[in-house]
Amino acid sequence: MIYFDNNATTQIDPAVLEVMLPYLHVQYGNPSSAYSFGKRAARAVETAREQVAALLKCEPTELIFTSCGTESDNTSIQSALMIDPDRKHLVTSKVEHSAIIKHAETLARRGYEVTWLDVDSDGMLDLDSLEGAIRDDTAAVSLMWANNETGALFPIEAVAEICRSKGTLFHTDAVQAVGKIDINLGNIPINFLSLSGHKLHAPKGIAALYVNRRTRFTPYLIGGGQENKRRGGTENTASIVALGKAAELAASALQEENSRVKALRDRFEQGILDTVAFVQVNGHREHRLPNTSNLAIEGVDSEGMLLLLDQRGICCSAGSACTAGSLEPSHVLKAMGYSNDRARGSLRFSFSRFNTEAEIAQGLEIIPAAIDRLRSMSRGVLAA
């Protein structure tokens, strides 16, 4: 199998697995227990918090461990709304992950107002529109750092400055950005940031939420006093330890992400563009994650391509999602102004430090041949 779908999820790094395993069987103490067996688990949780803080360049006390990126996203918005109940307006974009979009739609049905910002054909944001959208009653602006489909990067530093100058809370969904690009929270006035372990070689079901130490916060999960009374629920110690190790490894692999992984992505993308006619890159070619390539392949149906590539051992993603049996073109590609046909003919390839030159070479043999096959099949259907 060749795994080119690292924005969907990633392989657990063997070093991460090694450090987490003892907390599943030998060190199974509850971090809240008063005896030393529990305290050892509590210490491991605090070490992990320091490791994640080092990656983001923030204070460990600014981090709350959560169960997933979705929980971190939901918690931020809910906190902003609860802190100042008179503010009933949110600003976000049309290309966010469903963890933001579906939540905002739900809030809109409950009486909140949402402004949905557009993007241009490169997937880029217009900062003047953002500035114009923020009102006195805006509770929060939520904009993603990196788009999961195209890899497009929003100018988060500038966005954060605008929100600060307008006195509005700013949340960024950095689930796809953390571990792939350098993030320095010491330099940017962000109130909330979400990250998720399974995108950076930690297990699924563990994530974190950064809350700036000067930002008022109300918990979403109310229960025990865990996470300094900011998130009820017994800590997932093993996965927290794993996230800490994954963050430490990500910090030391950042250079590689931006050189070797980017070189693999570029070689792959150029290889496809050189050998296959009528292929275009979706999204900005410079302002994007180093690991992501989203390609529009004319005359090809991405679901058919996925099946064919699956048979040939390649995992990647389609620019459409199956919702209740019908193929919906990607909301991200549609927001960029692309036609349904272009969206339905788009594939996302996303790489990681575990990919090799040999896999890229194999991909460049298998994928162009698969595109040829599908194109000739659809020509046959048209001729028949």
In the complex, the residues that contact ligand PLP under the rule CB under 6 A are 68-70, 73, 97, 99, 144, 148, 173, 175-176, 196, 207
Structure letter (DSSP) for residue 326 = E
Whole-number Cα distances in Å, 186 to 73, 110, 180, 205: 21, 36, 18, 27
Residue closer to ligand PLP by CB (options 139, 175) is: 175
CB of 99 to ligand PLP, least distance (A): 4
At 286 the three-state DSSP class reads coil
Cα–Cα distance measured from residue 269 to residue 142, given in angstroms and rounded to the nearest whole number: 31
Residue labelled with tokens 């890229």: 360
Residue closer to ligand PLP by CB (options 7, 226) is: 7
Cα–Cα distance measured from residue 65 to residue 175, given in angstroms and rounded to the nearest whole number: 14
Q: Are 282 and 296 in contact (CB under 8 A)?
A: yes
Residue closer to ligand PLP by CB (options 241, 370) is: 241
Cα–Cα distance measured from residue 308 to residue 365, given in angstroms and rounded to the nearest whole number: 14
User: What residue type is assigned to position 108 of the chain?
Assistant: A
Structure letter (DSSP) for residue 187 = S
Name, in order, each residue with C-beta under 8 angstroms of 301's C-beta and a sequence gap of 6 or more: 344, 345, 374, 378
Residue closer to ligand PLP by CB (options 70, 293) is: 70
CB of 89 to ligand PLP, least distance (A): 22
Residue closer to ligand PLP by CB (options 150, 168) is: 150
> 58, 68, 316, 322: which is the annotated catalytic residue?
322
Q: Are 21 and 32 in contact (CB under 8 A)?
A: no
CB of 175 to ligand PLP, least distance (A): 4
CB of 180 to ligand PLP, least distance (A): 11
Cα–Cα distance measured from residue 369 to residue 48, given in angstroms and rounded to the nearest whole number: 45
CB of 233 to ligand PLP, least distance (A): 16
Residue closer to ligand PLP by CB (options 196, 226) is: 196
Q: Are 174 and 183 in contact (CB under 8 A)?
A: yes
Catalytic residue list contains 68: no
The pairing of strands 292-297 and 279-281 is antiparallel
The angle subtended at Cα 327 by Cα 325 and Cα 330, nearest 5°, is 135
Q: Which residue is nearest to ligand PLP (CB)?
A: 69
| Residues involved in catalysis | 322
